[in-house]
Structure 1
Amino acid sequence: MSDIFIPLVKNSLAKINKEFVTKGESLLEIKKFVDDLYKLDIPVPLLRKLLKKIADEVNIDGKEYIKLFDDGAFIIKNFVFADFEDTVSRQETEVEVLHQAFINFLNLRGENENNHVSIFDFLDQNRASLSSYFANKSIKTTEINDSIHAEFIESIKENTPLYDTLKKIYLGSIISGYLEINIGQVKHDVEFLLDTKFLISLLDLTSTESCYTCQKIIDICKRLGYRLTVLDDTITETSNLLKIVASKIEDAILIKKLDKETIESACERRKLSKTDLQRFAANLSHEIINLGINIIPHTIAYKNEAKNTKDYEKLKAVRNSPNAALHDATALVYVKKKRGRPITDFYEAKCWFVTHTHRTVEDFNENRNGAMPEIIRAEDLINILWLTSPNVSNTEMVDVGLTRLITSAYSNTLPSNRLLRNLDEKISR
């Protein structure tokens, strides 16, 4: 995984050479260049490891271009990265071309660029979410409620040079987030408890992008030996939701056309009928078990305890129904019991509640005194799994992240699902 950062350090060394800095008394001098250039706080042990790897690469044919000393001092021969500077210059040009393409796109739409965040800020959302999650121990929805960026990205997909530049920038944003967070020591005895919307997406009953994200999480977790679970209450809630949607699917007009993240839209895309949804509901437990997910039975004790929690009272005010609030509160009680104590590092936790929803996840925030939340968004989890798992393809994760950003951008500009369903009911009457 650390190899991903080598180009960042090489670029910093190229800048150092450009300023004719050929030696120093401490690696902190190189660290300052890296931090200033990429707005990071790179750990010194990681920097030392990367510098040693770069030195082994360039110190060939008996020539020593980079010399590192045990006390942190260093010597760098001038212009050893002259060829790398050409690469950096070319990449800077590519970034400027992408920026100008977005400005031109706005102008063609009659849009004022001052009314929209830059394409780079749009691509930086997942990093910002990760950084906030680990720095502030709180969950924040950082999605930008502006679909113009999604339209731009879709418009350049056939333009290979532009789209490749965009993917590199997105990848760089997520990688930089890795250096801002403290994940802790990776362990493999971690349990991920899955939410209702996660199951719905996993079964390809929302957007194809959401399905891909959830399926990729399942795939990575299985490869890494993590335990995947779901409460029997979640199975019941998911099954009931499918039955409710099935009973009204023939009247769904607006919601299936407007919001790709809904069951109704998935039915339209996959040509599923009322009977198909009812079959999904009836066979749900069997489908979940076949996916390698364990169902937690006998949750009545967790549910009874949840009824007397502050989380339940708080969630009742924002969930669609008391039953939905009790379901989430029960999941939180389960996770807290599994953890046994407040935790501060990601992999200290024995259990996480994974949600995949556009609802306001800030509902789960409270005064945590430095402890991490019990809940994590699928978008954040998949980036963490990727950043800590070298055997996961960069290309895979960039495709997942970008498609998710696009669908989120569109979905965030729409009215709530409840409002769209109410409108459909009025139209049918």
Structure 2
Amino acid sequence: MNENKAITYSLLAHIRNNGTLMKGPVDVFVPLIKRTLNQINNKGILKGESILEIQNEANQMYSIDFPIPVLKIILNQIANEVNIEGELNFTINKDNSFILKAFYFEDFEDKIQESKRDAENLEKIFIDFCKLKNIEVSNKTSIFDFIDKNKISISKYLSNHQVSNGLDYTIEAQFVEFFKKVPKVFDAVRRIYLGSIISSFLEYKTEDFKQDVELLFDTNFIISLIDLNTPESTHTCKKLIEVGKNLGFKLTILADTIEETKSLIKKKAENFTNTFLTRKINPEDLYNACERRNLSSSDLERIIDNLDDIVKSFDISIYSFTERLKKSAKDSLEYEKFKQIRGNHFSAIHDTIALLYVKEKRTKKIREFEKVNCWFVNNSSSHDSEDFKNFEKNNYEYQKETIRVDELLNILWLSNPRLNTNLENEDLIDIGLSSIVAHTLNDSLPKASIIRELDENIQKYRADVITDKDILNISSRISNRQIKNINEFNKLANTNSDEFQKKLKEESLIQEKEEKERIEKFDKLYERFEKEVNNLDKAKSNIKAKQFNLNEKEIQIENEKKQLAIDSDLNKDKIASLSKELEIEKKEKNDILNKLSAKNRDNFIAQEIKNWRRKSWNQLIFCTILIICGFIYLFYLSDWKIDNFEKTLNNYKSNIVITSLIALFGFVLNFFVLRNIRDKYYNHSNIKAFKELIEIPDELK
């Protein structure tokens, strides 16, 4: 996506958020076409042989395609608005030629310039973010392509075709995720995203939308609905339930899906204490929801026992008569393909009968989205795997049986203007952006089975060599795609456990080294900042001297002015000249004072940040002293002998209270002290928040 389209999207969001301008689905585009007509008029063009000329000008101005049928509706609407009191300012003839006598429209020029600045700033910030991650930027507008990704994904449902939108947007997803807590940056992302969805109006007919629709929910949807996924996923699924009820949709789940959900939760409960790596790599892992909600394996067992009632509490019907579908599924091509994709019979047969259920409800293949009466709704990217896409081979000529919950919500928002009371712009944006970020980051991860195998191997062979910190370092490298061939590690674990430990330790040390290098970069940056402060102090003295001279000159000019006024009215011209000079000098003085105040304020903030960071370093020094004192005490008890020291240490290791205290101390050191230091150097949103909380003295404001 080019920058021009991003500006258009931001402008569309602005128009859409102004409710007074929105009465119908195409009204949001009317101001854009008015600007186009104004541009044509400014070029001296007063008539044209075809509205294709208007379309070409609009496409060039906004970098989005206006279909001729939609453009005619907009142009006729504009003509009815501007042709008043019998004066024809704009006319569309039956042969699609047009006459443009006079047209003026510049209502959104300031907003366009603001949108342009936002887009340019977003590009610059994205480039800086990539440099921080040591990634070379080949396309600075790829952040816009990523934001446009959700529109591309729903185009296969609206216009029966799939458009490629790149292969890997991991760094772009990390950028959006990182700046979620920085309003000035994230608001620009939100506006562009909303505009991209609004632009889908151009390719979607809403008048024939079918209200008699049944939604069949998949396992991952239920897992999210009962809050065993991320909070964002839970919000998305609950929002679809709310919207579906308001639209009168029938909500259904197969009894087999209930059983598959129970089986999934049961496996997680059984391995509750045997996994560590997976939950650190995948934020959507069920164990992370357990940690967030403080759930134990017993709590998961209770959820299994009550799952039927929980599902029914959302007014979801459970369909139990699936034996006939199972018999048909076992002989189907879909089942054979699902066996290859899912890896086991139970999951393959479940997905197959779900597709057969939807096909039976539809009775025939359907081309238009608005005529579909049944969907299989999921909340993951698993149904969009490349294997399954290749298996279908329909090029989206007909509607698929499956749809993601966020895609469905986007299209429902487009097709039902009355949904604004239930699905606000803010909800739509948060749901969509959270979805594309989560799916992009998850797609970049290795398969869950490979990560699970690595986790099992680590737990099996870690011994005393691989620490929890090492595992955290390894999970960071996998999440950041710095370790790609995990299968090699798993193979090595099966053939040579010692070498496996060695390789893991090496990767952990590499991660630690990279972290230290980042700290060193910030230290160098800080040293350079201190030098700049010293230079500012010197400049401050020069400014004060210049300020004194200016004050003296101001007094002199003021005295001369008074004397001239007394002497004669003939000196009016000279007085005016001196007054002008005085104003210039005053302005120069104010500029110098403002600069001086700004420099003093910057110095004050820098010192506050330095003091803020020093507190964390003091904590680290204190912890280090405690560790040294501990070792000295042990040597003292061991009569300062190495042999006795080892015995004394083992004696203390057997003491569970002391061991627990040491573990607690290590936890505080790693997760509070060291993490606090890292956040104060690397977490820009944290640093920015601290800066905003600094109380600036009145003399520096």
TM-score of the pair, normalised by structure 1: 0.89
Cα distance change on mapping 1:146 and 1:70 into 2, 3 Å: closer
SS of residue in 1 equivalent to 2:324: helix
In 2, the alpha carbon distance for the partners of 1:141 and 1:19 equals 36
> Who is 2:318 aligned against?
295
In 1, the alpha carbon distance for the partners of 2:161 and 2:253 equals 24
* Residue among 430, 433, 439 paired with 1:402: 433
> Who is 2:198 aligned against?
175
Deviation at 1:252, TM superposition (A): 2.1
Deviation at 1:374, TM superposition (A): 1.3
Deviation at 1:273, TM superposition (A): 0.9
Q: Structure 2: where are the runs of 5+ without partners?
A: 1-24, 461-701
Q: Which moved more, 1:161-170 or 1:248-257?
A: 161-170
* Residue among 287, 297, 300 paired with 1:264: 287
Amino acid at match of 1:186: F
In 1, the alpha carbon distance for the partners of 2:125 and 2:39 equals 28
> Who is 1:93 aligned against?
117
Cα distance change on mapping 1:219 and 1:6 into 2, 3 Å: farther
> Who is 2:454 aligned against?
423
Deviation track 1:38-63 (CA, whole Å, cap 9, x = no partner) reads: 44443444334434544566678x69
Deviation at 1:291, TM superposition (A): 0.6
Cα distance change on mapping 1:297 and 1:216 into 2, 3 Å: same
**Residues paired across the two proteins, number:** 427
Q: Which has the larger radius of gyration?
A: 2
SS of residue in 1 equivalent to 2:271: helix
- The answer to whether the 8 A contact 1:122-1:144 is kept is no
* Residue among 192, 200, 207 paired with 2:230: 207
Q: Is 1:328 aligned to 2:351, yes or no?
A: yes
- The answer to whether the 8 A contact 1:143-1:408 is kept is no
- The answer to whether the 8 A contact 2:126-2:140 is kept is no
- The answer to whether the 8 A contact 2:146-2:169 is kept is no
Deviation track 1:240-275 (CA, whole Å, cap 9, x = no partner) reads: 111111111111211222211121121122211111
Q: Which moved more, 1:42-51 or 1:354-363?
A: 42-51
SS of residue in 1 equivalent to 2:375: strand
Residues 25-424 of structure 1 aligned to structure 2 (within 5 Å)? 25-54=49-78, 66-69=89-92, 71=94, 72-76=96-100, 80-114=104-138, 118-136=142-160, 145-181=168-204, 185-362=208-385, 363=388, 365-368=391-394, 370-390=397-417, 391-392=419-420, 393-424=424-455
Deviation at 1:117, TM superposition (A): 6.8
- The answer to whether the 8 A contact 2:375-2:403 is kept is yes
In 2, the alpha carbon distance for the partners of 1:267 and 1:189 equals 37
Q: Which moved more, 1:248-257 or 1:330-339?
A: 248-257
SS of residue in 2 equivalent to 1:156: helix
> Who is 2:686 aligned against?
none
In 2, the alpha carbon distance for the partners of 1:185 and 1:355 equals 25
Deviation track 1:386-416 (CA, whole Å, cap 9, x = no partner) reads: 1112123222211111122222233222222
Q: Which moved more, 1:285-294 or 1:21-30?
A: 21-30
Deviation track 1:56-105 (CA, whole Å, cap 9, x = no partner) reads: 66678x69685344635544465611343333233222211211221122
In 1, the alpha carbon distance for the partners of 2:358 and 2:199 equals 30
Cα distance change on mapping 1:294 and 1:10 into 2, 3 Å: farther
CA-based RMSD: 2.8
Deviation at 1:196, TM superposition (A): 0.6
SS of residue in 2 equivalent to 1:82: coil
SS of residue in 1 equivalent to 2:426: helix
- The answer to whether the 8 A contact 2:258-2:308 is kept is yes
Q: Which moved more, 1:28-37 or 1:194-203?
A: 28-37
Q: Is 1:19 aligned to 2:43, yes or no?
A: yes
In 2, the alpha carbon distance for the partners of 1:316 and 1:145 equals 27
In 1, the alpha carbon distance for the partners of 2:177 and 2:355 equals 38
In 1, the alpha carbon distance for the partners of 2:205 and 2:63 equals 16
Amino acid at match of 1:374: E
Which structure exhibits the higher relative contact order, with contacts defined as CA atoms closer than 8 Å and separated by 6 or more residues? 1
Cα distance change on mapping 1:128 and 1:121 into 2, 3 Å: same
Q: Structure 1: where are the runs of 5+ without partners?
A: none
> Greater helix percent: which structure?
2
In 2, the alpha carbon distance for the partners of 1:64 and 1:205 equals 64
Amino acid at match of 2:54: I
Cα distance change on mapping 1:342 and 1:31 into 2, 3 Å: same
Cα distance change on mapping 1:4 and 1:366 into 2, 3 Å: same
SS of residue in 1 equivalent to 2:310: helix
Q: Percent identity?
A: 40
Deviation track 1:267-322 (CA, whole Å, cap 9, x = no partner) reads: 12221111111111111111111112111121111111111111001111110311
Deviation track 1:115-149 (CA, whole Å, cap 9, x = no partner) reads: 787111111111121224454567x9968544322
